[in-house]
Amino acid sequence: MTIELQDAGKKFNRDWIFRHVSFTFSASTSYAITGPNGSGKSTLLQAIAMALRVNEGKCIWQNGTGQFIPEDQVHQYLSIVAPYLDVIEEMTATEFLHFHAQFKPLLPGISIPAILEKIGLAQSAHKQIRYYSSGMVQRVKLAQAIFSNTPVLLLDEPCTNLDAEGYQLYHDLIADYATSKTIIVSSNDAAEIDFCKKRIAITDYK
């Protein structure tokens, strides 16, 4: 999967968040979007996901054969972790992953109990998510995205609310289950993006 931004710009009211972004995200490569808090990293990530439309330029998705992906189908090819996206707290982690898998199949060869074991939540598999700590909820978010069988993984501040053990889990999950994906991480935390091969600084497009 290839994602190309062509002279892309996004503004809210009269203020440009970024402008003249021309960049290609290649398949099976990891990228970091860096910049200070409030600089527009999340906005750029949402524009890449086509959750937000750019005001100028284009965002183009192509599959491995060069076929263009229609804008209304892009969501089928990506999974995302972000602070502004919630899980369904009335469900248990087991129920939530089963529910999510109805829309985006999980990676083949691993079961939901095995996933919960991997993220350290096997003992809480049948507890409602509303009773989880913030760190446990973040582990569920990481699981639903990383274990989705999608070619693109978008991560916005993916280690929010995680302790040192959670950071290590994040890196282990990326290394074990996401190396074949196109990964784009929006963060100014060096520990979240140290594995990324390429960088794009949002401040270069102001």
Domains and CATH numbers, the chain: 2-205 (3.40.50.300)
Does 179 have pLDDT greater than 90? yes
pLDDT tens-digit readout, 41-77: 999 999 999 999 999 999 999 998 889 999 999 999 9
Selection from 49, 4, 51 nearest residue 26 by Cα = 4
For residues 115 and 169, what is the distance between their CA atoms, to the nearest angstrom?
A: 12
Does 29 have pLDDT greater than 90? yes
Average pLDDT across the chain, whole number: 97
For residues 150 and 27, what is the distance between their CA atoms, to the nearest angstrom?
A: 12
| CA within 13 Å, CB half, 61 | 19
Selection from 187, 178, 185 nearest residue 151 by Cα = 178
Using the Cα atoms of residue 118, residue 175, residue 46 and residue 65 in order, give the sign of their dihedral.
negative
pLDDT tens-digit readout, 84-131: 999 999 999 999 999 999 999 999 999 999 999 999 999 999 999 999
- Distances, alpha carbon 2 to alpha carbons 22, 41, 49, 93, 187, in Å: 13, 20, 12, 32, 21
Selection from 109, 121, 127 nearest residue 169 by Cα = 121
- In this prediction, residue 46 carries a pLDDT of 97
- In this prediction, residue 187 carries a pLDDT of 97
Q: Which residue has the tokens 């003249």?
A: 20
